[in-house]
């Protein structure tokens, strides 16, 4: 799956006892989603089993869906934590300084001063700029809850199995992407969660706000459709919700969706990419390795994500990004 920089770490090698008597923060990425908050809750429960206390936090924002889930499950979290209080920080569902939001400056300073140790549990590609280079993350997983399940499943209880299911459903776009291992892991977690699939599904559903509805409709309306080797590639643009919009294009029939946008806050271009499982397997295609690394060679910028969901951020016009992407995909599919 193209995650050769990751190293599988056996559960026995993760020594919980070393974290006793430490002030521990479980930090989610900015605009934390269901996978991040569920993974944090799982890790907090695992630590609690060992009589180790911890706090869950987000830099400043948590999305509505994750917030509603945390409220229903009574998962306590804080916003804008004072990082000086902690000597151990676990990153959940991210490993990139950009996702620290307003905490980035303080985090970077304190990390250089070695005020705390950092370990990341994540399922995205490890880059040279990654915060944690110890590589505890696992290669070909689809969610951080799946990562934790594979590392610590012998210690899981019903609630943890439930949370793992929620993260797997959400981060695959309700199984738009997946593989045999994902479905095997999900089936195991569902069986041991003491909940039905429909019960779990309810926790991943959320009333869509007007802004997201408009973003989806505009994305579909503006989509350009290209057929390459009998596969449908959809390219579009929208100002907000590029990732969610790209996922929505897959559900409308695209094999690969590419959604471009401009981040006025960071004065940069964004490209969110999605690829469905059949397309990936049929073409041995990985969005990071086969598309975005090539795009990065051509246009520079930063990349992140995994085989079926990834993002490029840089500075280039929509036309240049589109033409580069289509050229790269054509070369891969028609070689």
Round to whole Å and give the CA distance between 47 and 160.
Answer: 12
140 or 41, which is more confident: 41
pLDDT surpasses 70 at 12? no
Model pLDDT, residue 134: 63
Burial class (CB in 10 A: 0-12, 13-18, 19+), 109: exposed
pLDDT digits (tens, 9 = 90+) for 201-237: 988 876 677 888 899 999 999 999 999 999 999 999 9
Model pLDDT, residue 202: 87
- Match 């949370």 to its residue by tokens: 163
pLDDT digits (tens, 9 = 90+) for 35-44: 999 999 999 9
Kind and range of the H or E element at 14? none
pLDDT digits (tens, 9 = 90+) for 147-174: 999 999 999 999 999 999 999 999 888 8
Among residues 185, 183, 162, the alpha carbon closest in space to that of 174 is found at 183
Burial class (CB in 10 A: 0-12, 13-18, 19+), 253: exposed
Q: What residues have CB less than 8 Å from 186, skipping those under 6 apart?
A: 165, 168, 169
Instruction: Kindly list the distances between the CA atom of residue 217 and the CA atoms of 248, 259, 277, in Å, as whole numbers in the listed order.
Output: 10, 13, 24
Judge if pTM exceeds 0.85: no
CB 299 within 8 Å of CB 278: no
All structural domains of the chain, each given as residue ranges with its CATH number in brackets, are 11-203 (3.90.1640.10), 210-333 (3.10.310.20)
Model pLDDT, residue 176: 79
pLDDT surpasses 90 at 129? no
175 or 106, which is more confident: 106
Model pLDDT, residue 11: 37
pLDDT surpasses 80 at 6? no
Angle between helical axes of 64-73 and 158-171 (0-180°, round to 10): 170
CB 108 within 8 Å of CB 114: no
Q: Is 132 helix (H, G, I), strand (E, B) or coil?
A: coil
pLDDT digits (tens, 9 = 90+) for 227-280: 999 999 999 999 988 988 999 999 999 999 999 999 877 778 999 999 998 899
259 or 139, which is more confident: 259
């Amino acid at each position: 799956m193209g995650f050769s920089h990751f190293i599988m770490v056996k559960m026995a090698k993760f020594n919980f006892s070393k974290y006793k008597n430490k002030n521990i923060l479980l930090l989610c990425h900015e605009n934390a989603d269901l996978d991040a908050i569920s993974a944090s809750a799982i890790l907090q429960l695992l630590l609690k089993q060992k009589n180790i206390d911890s706090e869950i936090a987000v830099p400043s924002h948590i999305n509505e869906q994750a917030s509603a889930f945390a409220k229903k499950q009574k998962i306590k979290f804080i916003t804008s934590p004072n990082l000086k209080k902690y000597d151990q920080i676990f990153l959940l569902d991210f490993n990139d300084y950009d996702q620290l939001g307003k905490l980035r400056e303080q985090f970077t300073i304190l990390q250089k001063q070695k005020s705390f140790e950092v370990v990341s549990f994540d399922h995205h590609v490890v880059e040279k700029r990654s915060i944690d280079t110890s590589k505890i993350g696992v290669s070909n997983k689809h969610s951080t809850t799946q990562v934790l399940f594979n590392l610590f499943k012998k210690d899981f209880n019903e609630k943890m199995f439930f949370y793992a299911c929620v993260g797997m459903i959400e981060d695959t776009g309700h199984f738009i992407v997946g593989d045999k291992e994902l479905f095997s892991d999900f089936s195991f977690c569902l069986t041991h969660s003491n909940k039905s699939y429909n019960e779990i599904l309810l926790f991943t559903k959320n009333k869509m706000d007007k802004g997201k509805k408009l973003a989806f409709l505009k994305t579909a309306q503006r989509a350009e459709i290209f057929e390459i080797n009998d596969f449908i590639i959809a390219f579009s643009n929208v100002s907000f919700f590029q990732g969610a919009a790209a996922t929505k294009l897959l559900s409308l029939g695209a094999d690969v969706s590419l959604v471009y946008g401009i981040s006025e806050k960071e004065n940069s271009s964004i490209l969110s990419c999605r690829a469905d499982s059949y397309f990936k397997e049929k073409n041995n295609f990985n969005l990071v390795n086969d598309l975005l690394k090539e795009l990065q060679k051509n246009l520079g910028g930063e990349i992140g994500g995994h085989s079926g969901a990834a993002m490029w951020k840089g500075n280039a016009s929509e036309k240049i990004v589109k033409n580069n992407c289509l050229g790269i995909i054509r070369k891969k599919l028609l070689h």
